Chains A and B, each alone.
Chain A
Amino acid sequence: MYGYRGKLLEINLTDSSISVKKLDENLLKKYLGGSGLGARLLYDLTDGQTAPLDEENVLIFMTGPFTGTKIPTSGRHAVVTKSPLTGIWAEADVGGNWGYELKCAGFDGILIKGKAVKPVYLWISEVGTELRDATHLWGKDTYEVDELIRKETDSQAVISSIGQGGENLVAFASIMTDGKDGRAAGRGGVGAVMGSKYLKAIAVRGKQRVEVKYPERLKQKIKELAPEIVDKTRMFGKYGTSGGVQGHEEMLNFPLKNWAGERWPEGVEKINGIVMEETILKKQYRCKTCIIGCGRDVEITAGPYQGVNGAGPEYETIGTLGGLCMIDDLEAIAWANELCNRYGIDTISAGSVIAYSMEAFERGILTAEDCDGLQLVFGNEKAMIELIHKIANKEGYLGKLLSKGVRKAAAELGNYAEEFAIHVKGMEFPAHDPRAYNGVALSYATSNRGACHVQGFTHGFEKGFTMPELGIDQPHPRHSVEGKGEFTAKLQDLMCIFDSIKLCKFVIIGGVKLTDITELFNAVTGLNLTNQDLIKIGERIYNLKRLYNVRCGISRKDDSLPPRILTQKRGPNLPPLGKMLNEYYAYRKWDEFGVPTEAKIKELGLMADYPDAVL
Chain B
Amino acid sequence: MTVYVDFYQPFKKIVQEKRVSFSFTKANTVTLKELLEEIIVKYPACSEVIAAQDKDNVEKFFRNIAVLRDNNFLLLDCVLEDGDIIKIFPVISGG
Contact = CB atoms under 8 A, between A and B. Distances in A.
A432 B94 CA distance: 9
A506 B92 CA distance: 12
A246 B94 contact: no
A238 B10 CA distance: 11
B30 interface: no
What interface size band does chain B fall in?
A: 20 to 34
A350 to B, nearest CB: 17
A244 B71 contact: no
Interface in A452-498: 453, 459, 463-464, 475, 477
A248 B73 CA distance: 12
B94 A316 contact: yes
Interface in A422-473: 431-432, 453, 459, 463-464
Interface string B72-95: 110000000000000101111111
Contacts of A273: 90
Contacts of A459: 94
Contacts of A316: 94-95
A235 B94 contact: no
B9 interface: yes
Contacts of A571: 71
Interface in A271-327: 272-275, 277, 294, 314-316
B9 A463 contact: no
Interface stretch (B20-28, B36-44, B62-70): B62-70
Contact of A247 (B10, B51, B66): B66
B9 A247 contact: no
Contact of A244 (B49, B63, B93): B93
Contact of B64 (A235, A269, A314): A235
Contacts of A15: none
Nearest to B54: A231
A45 interface: no
Nearest to B87: A250
Contacts of B90: 235, 238-239, 243-244, 247, 273-274
B51 to A, nearest CB: 6
B93 A509 contact: yes
B50 interface: yes
Interface residues of A, number: 37
Nearest to B51: A234
A236 interface: yes
A250 B94 contact: no
A248 B9 contact: no
A528 B60 CA distance: 35
A139 B48 CA distance: 49
Given A314-B95, A506-B95, A509-B91, A247 B60 contact: no
Contacts of A314: 95
A250 B91 contact: no
B4 interface: no
Contact of B66 (A244, A272, A477): A244
A463 B95 contact: no
Nearest to B89: A247
Contacts of B64: 232, 234-235
Contacts of A239: 10, 90
Contact of B94 (A231, A234, A244, A275): A244
A463 B92 contact: yes
Contacts of A477: 72
Q: Which of B64, B66, B89 has the most CB of A within 10 A?
A: B89
Nearest to A572: B71
A411 interface: no
A315 B95 contact: yes
Contacts of B72: 477
A403 interface: no
Interface in A522-566: none
Contacts of B95: 241, 294, 314-316, 506
B73 A315 contact: no
A464 B94 contact: no
Nearest to A272: B9
A243 B93 contact: yes
A18 interface: no
A505 to B, nearest CB: 9
Contacts of A506: 93, 95
Interface string B3-27: 0000011100000000000000000
7 contacts: A244-B90, A247-B87, A250-B68, A250-B89, A251-B68, A272-B9, A459-B94
Interface of A: 231-232, 234-236, 238-239, 241, 243-244, 246-248, 250-252, 269, 272-275, 277, 294, 314-316, 431-432, 453, 459, 463-464, 475, 477, 506, 509, 571
Q: Please list the 10 inter-chain residue pairs (A to B) with the smallest Cβ-Cβ separation, ordered nearest first.
A: A241-B95, A244-B92, A247-B89, A247-B92, A274-B9, A235-B90, A235-B64, A243-B90, A315-B94, A244-B93
